[in-house]
Structure 1
Amino acid sequence: MTSSIDSELRNFGVEEEYLILDAESGTPSNRAADLIRSMPALRERAEREYFASQLETATSICRSAEDAERELRYFRQCASEAAEEQGVIVAGTGVPPVGGERAGSVTPKRRYFELNATMRRASAHSYNTGLHVHVEVPSPDAGVDVLARMAPWSPILLAMTTNSPIWQGQVMGFAGWRHMLGRSWPLCGYPPEFASGEEYEERLSRLIASGTLLDHGSVTWTARLSNRFPTIELRIGDSQLWAEDSVAFAVLVRALVDRCLRDREAGLPRPRVLPEMLTGANWMASRDGLDEGILDVVGGEQLPAIEFVDLLVDAVGEELARFGDEQRVSDFVSRLRAHGSGARRQVRAFEHGGLAGLLDLYGSEFGAGDAAAS
């Protein structure tokens, strides 16, 4: 993976986590291992997650949005077909709509058992499935600088990807309930500022040595430096209904990372963000999604959510043009403007058709290829 800031295209990757739900009851179904066994051609792209009712895939290192979308669509199609044969649905949603009151079945892996022992009952209902975007950075020092520069944009990034409004059969009044469930882990919310990559590593090592964290992989901030790749990893988004939305969001994040790196190279100062203001802004974004205002944590004013989206797209317009992603992101924003985030679509399906309508949304759209038509 190249690390040059002047690369024509900046490498990125997308991880998607999905929930496996019983096709009749909608409750989590512990079939991840069965699904993976039934997809021999995709085993290297499929992983079991913390619970046996969660499935994960990741793209290869990608340079173009088309490559990422092709991989995710193919995986989703194969997983959907395998799920139908087993009487389950693979769903792109941040939390299960029903059944979350039951403790999840931990996947039988040593590390997951260790995590479960550490977390005790705090993680018993962590059916949290997300969208993770990796974008290459030249160094850990550059990475922590990017994290700091991205912080003011984190509320709108969260709002755009809210897709978990229904929990235990109820509309929760939060577009992103997954964000709230994630607050039970030792590290939650957006990370604090770090002066350097060395400080980042030193502070995490102290947390691990103290027993607060099991290892680097258990860092559950909504953004972090990857412990496996030379990337920053944005983990703020819920799993998405459509692969197109996942990829469009990913290339928007890539453009933002590139913009932050160029601002760093130009010597522009980091924005000054009060941690409590950022925490509150992200809390409100998880509550309201795109349906209310988004707090500008630098200026201190609320802006209409879609106006904030437009500001973000304008801020990275040069990067989107250079990467060839302008039209893809424009189409994504048009969908958000017309239909809202996935949360609004889920609530609409639930209110019109109950649980059956919601499961139909998950099942019919998971492997679909035309989000704009929905």
Structure 2
Amino acid sequence: MASLTIKNAVKRYGSVEVLKSVDIDLADGEFLVLLGASGCGKSTLLNMIAGLESVTEGEISIGDRIINDVHPKDRDIAMVFQSYALYPNMTVAKNIAFGLEMRGVPKAERDTAVLDVAKVLKMDHLLDRKPSQLSGGQRQRVAMGRALVRRPEVFLFDEPLSNLDAKLRLEMRTEIKRLHKRLNATMVYVTHDQIEALTLADRIAILKDGEIQQLASPEEIYDRPVNMFVAGLVGSPPMNFIHAEVARTDTGYGAEITVRANGTDNSVLLDLTNHPADLSGFVGREIVIGIRPEAITQTGSHDGPTQCFASEIDVTEATGADTLCILNWNGKEVMARISSGYARIIEGTMDFSVDISRASLFDPQSEMRIA
């Protein structure tokens, strides 16, 4: 395996710049996920690594070798596509071995390699079947096997699970995670599914309009998003955004919000004194308080200091493991997450506990995190 370096990579189609100065340094054996909405440039970047798209400016290197002008077949990469791209007239074994056959690898060596890969993917009993006789998950395993059998320096995945149902996606995520752990392979994975990104990645690169918004570990991106775009993209349900003005209090800083309870609007001061952000320059100004739904829950469920107050519930949504509640704060819908046992006993107003230490604070003008 090898490292992957992308340095000031730019991609233009005529006057349209679809990738803007992308910089990524991927260590040997690291798993990188490119995450973003359709049209953000993530698949274009993957295709540039693969050699399917040219690099307008900048450099892409695998190990110590710059590959800008290297033909795709000579880059020592393997790509797994969304559409499987299997040969329908070939058996599973022949589909997996096809690339080795094209490279002139002897048949005995091919057969050994195919069997080894099939055992890793738990499909050695399917080697004589045709793709039409396989399920969607099995076909994707064959596509992965075809990539694995070559032992490339870098694996590229282009939304490989998007055609599968929810149960198969979960199973295949586990298989890919297990595979990465076993091979310690360098992998780049494109997806628009945040759950795939959070569960698979060592690091996530979040793209918007061809620019990397944040490149960090899943934990860093979830807990300390660099801006409101990242905060709103990652998390299900997404982060709540509450606009409020910062005021100086006797103990430090606070922000007043309006909470509906028992049919009336009540003023509640959110105590921001112990928040790590420096709010001295924001007194008298509006900020955006970003709070994940799990940081707003039933009273008594948090460890450590919290604030408690009553809030009226508009709607509840039982999801099995827990219950989502829609509240009304500052005239906006706010989502809270409470224990599943409360799903059928909630009516009207309930006491909620808010962990402000887990909140993210943003500048409403720049939408950047307040350091």
Higher strand content, 1 or 2: 2
Which protein has the larger Cα radius of gyration, Structure 1 or Structure 2?
A: 2
* Length-normalised TM-score, structure 1: 0.24
1 or 2 for the larger relative contact order (CA 8 Å, sep ≥6)?
1
Higher helix content, 1 or 2: 1
* Length-normalised TM-score, structure 2: 0.24
